[in-house]
Amino acid sequence: MRFQFTEQEESFQKEVEDFLRKELPPGWAEESLQWPGGYGSHEVDEEHWRINQQLQRKIAARGWASISWPKEYGGEYSPIEHAIFDERTSYYRIPPPGFGATVAGPTILLFGSEEMKQEWLPRIARAEVEFWFAYSEPNAGSDLAALQTRAVEEGDEFVINGQKIWGSGAHLIDYAWVAVRTDPDAPRHRGISLFIVDMKTPGITIRPLTNICGVHSFNEVFFDNVRVPRKYLIGEKNQGWYYLVAALDFERLMVGIGGFKRVFELFVDYVKETSPDGEALRNNQQVRHRVAEIAVQIEVAYMFYWQTAWMLSKGLHPNMEASVLKLWITELSRHFADAAMQILGPYGQLETGAKLAPLNGLVPRGYLDCISATIGAGTSEIQRNIIAIRGLDLPRK
């Protein structure tokens, strides 16, 4: 067993690093610094969104938005190079190529018709279109198969009625990737379909929801007789559940691991340099132990991460591993925030902008934000259920 990159992988890592250093606006990494594993503790204003879109287009122009798609659809890199790309971009706090490139694109590649591939894949690969995920409903979260939003076939269209909730970015993004019930009489998992819906279609109402950090990041979205052309049905009618499960596995691999390394480096520098009330943090044994504990957890996260990439490169399906990685990384986000808060003591409660706020107020925001990722894309309890059932072969109950 050799734990090292090939020459080609090393040279790709350098290429990505050089690109990021050249293209990032000055101060980007500092200004956009957020707690690793969180969903976002700062408002995405129009300026930030515009800069991000420009960066994504430059990334796409290099073929990195569709980085591990098949060659004929613009991809030409291995899963390990994909993982290297995600690690470096998250280290520099670049929002990853969105759900279009990482979830919708791969799902269309696997299950979409040829017409759908021709229409959507090139646009996704050029970062011209983006999607938000319209899965959850007020009475369907962990138990997603309970979803009630209906789509009824009328001629060459489907008419959608219902309500979605917790739609991250629905107020900013042009297309929705919507799960709806198309056969109410079938067993729950067999009556669901997936659609692409243009957010400009009449009948869509968006209501903002403010998250724990006071930021408008997600939304309630109402569909009132929204007409969608048949060609925007993904794959086959009533097969959506199976596509959706595959798509959730893609989502669980997007862990932004480099952000952990970056923030941990900053935190360790802070511990080395700071002596609140005259006592150097670096000499305090409890502090040293907490920091060492987080260092070990980050190393373990990296091991899972590269193992998952390696499995993908061998054509293996990291189904249980995707849940292990998601669970470990998101719980790590909480452990790290907890350790940081304890080490900073009362200073840890000072927000961005306060004169004595350590690390520009990163930690108190992170302390609030870190909870989000243990819920989004399937809660920690649901990941443990998946590991028990798929990984350990325990009965479903």
Ligand X SMILES: Cc1cc2nc3c(=O)[nH]c(=O)nc-3n(C[C@H](O)[C@H](O)[C@H](O)COP(=O)(O)OP(=O)(O)OC[C@H]3O[C@@H](n4cnc5c(N)ncnc54)[C@H](O)[C@@H]3O)c2cc1C
Positions in the binding site for ligand X (CB under 6 A): 39, 132-136, 141-142, 166-168, 218, 372, 375-376, 378-379, 381-382, 385
Q: Which is nearer to ligand X, 8 or 210 (CB)?
A: 210
Q: Which is nearer to ligand X, 167 or 364 (CB)?
A: 167
Q: Which is nearer to ligand X, 62 or 216 (CB)?
A: 216
- To 5 degrees, how large is the angle CA 376–CA 381–CA 385? 115
Instruction: Supply the minimum distance, in Å, between the C-beta of residue 205 and ligand X.
Output: 17
* The two structure tokens encoding residue 69: 């798609």
Instruction: Supply the minimum distance, in Å, between the C-beta of residue 129 and ligand X.
Output: 17
Secondary structure E strands in the chain: 131-134, 150-154, 157-164, 175-181, 192-198, 204-210, 216-229
Q: Which is nearer to ligand X, 37 or 348 (CB)?
A: 37
How many angstroms separate the first and last alpha carbons of the chain?
38
Q: Which is nearer to ligand X, 93 or 326 (CB)?
A: 326
Q: Which residues contact 268 (CB under 8 A, 6 or more apart)?
A: 291
Instruction: Supply the minimum distance, in Å, between the C-beta of residue 385 and ligand X.
Output: 5
Instruction: Supply the minimum distance, in Å, between the C-beta of residue 206 and ligand X.
Output: 13
Cβ burial of 45 (10 Å; 0-12, 13-18, 19+) is: exposed
Q: Is residue 132 classed as helix, strand or coil in its secondary structure?
A: strand
Interatomic CA distance for residues 397 and 387, integer angstroms: 14
Q: Which is nearer to ligand X, 75 or 378 (CB)?
A: 378
Residue 360 amino acid letter: N
Instruction: Supply the minimum distance, in Å, between the C-beta of residue 293 and ligand X.
Output: 25
If you compute the radius of gyration of the chain from its CA atoms, what whole number of angstroms results? 22
Annotate 38-83 with DSSP letters as a single string. -S-SS---HHHHHHHHHHHHHHHHTT-TTTTS-GGGT----HHHHH
Instruction: Supply the minimum distance, in Å, between the C-beta of residue 136 and ligand X.
Output: 4
Interatomic CA distance for residues 108 and 117, integer angstroms: 6
| Residue 173 near residue 199 (C-beta atoms within 8 A) | yes
Q: Which is nearer to ligand X, 328 or 347 (CB)?
A: 328
Burial code of 235-271, b = ≥16 C-beta within 10 A, e = fewer? bebbbbbbbbebbbbbbbbbbbbbbbbbbbeebeebb
Instruction: Supply the minimum distance, in Å, between the C-beta of residue 366 and ligand X.
Output: 14
Instruction: Supply the minimum distance, in Å, between the C-beta of residue 211 and ligand X.
Output: 6
Q: Which residues contact 334 (CB under 8 A, 6 or more apart)?
A: 37, 370, 371, 374
Instruction: Supply the minimum distance, in Å, between the C-beta of residue 1 and ligand X.
Output: 36
In the DSSP assignment, the letter for residue 89 is H
Q: Which is nearer to ligand X, 238 or 380 (CB)?
A: 380
Q: Which is nearer to ligand X, 132 or 305 (CB)?
A: 132
> Bridge partners of 164?
221
Q: Which is nearer to ligand X, 24 or 375 (CB)?
A: 375
Instruction: Supply the minimum distance, in Å, between the C-beta of residue 102 and ligand X.
Output: 13
In the DSSP assignment, the letter for residue 146 is G
Nearest to 127 by CA among 190, 58, 182, 183: 58
Q: Which is nearer to ligand X, 9 or 251 (CB)?
A: 251
Instruction: Supply the minimum distance, in Å, between the C-beta of residue 220 and ligand X.
Output: 11
